Amino acid sequence: MLVLSRKSGQSIVIGESIVVTVLEVRGDQVRLGIEAPRELPVHREEIYALIRAENAAAARAGTDAPEGLEELLGGTVAGRPDRPPGETGQEE
């Protein structure tokens, strides 16, 4: 980890497109200004952790989708044989 000391109004540059500026130091809080391209997401660490957890949960829940999709499309459901839409399988 790189550790830098900066005073209010001073900045650091990350790569070629990110500038972090110390806006204010008050007690144990530091206000930072971040200039970055709009396509680059910038999150507080705790928000980023929540986003990752939500994405992981959504990916796990997505594994059930093929079964539900099969049912909607009229495929085999709970041991029932495949039938074309509209056919009941009962003889007249």
Question: Which residues touch 14 (CB under 8 Å, ≥6 apart)?
Answer: 20
pLDDT attached to residue 61: 75
Q: What is the pLDDT of residue 11?
A: 98
Indicate the residue type of 72: L
Amino acid at 65: A
- Give the model confidence (pLDDT) of 39-76 as tens digits: 999 999 999 999 999 998 888 876 555 666 666 666 55
> Which sequence spans correspond to the domains of the chain?
8-39, 43-73
How far is residue 34's CA from residue 42's CA, in Å, rounded to a whole number? 8
Q: Over the stretch 74-87, which tens digit does the pLDDT of each residue have? A: 655 455 555 555 55
13-27 pLDDT, tens digit per residue, is 999 999 999 999 999
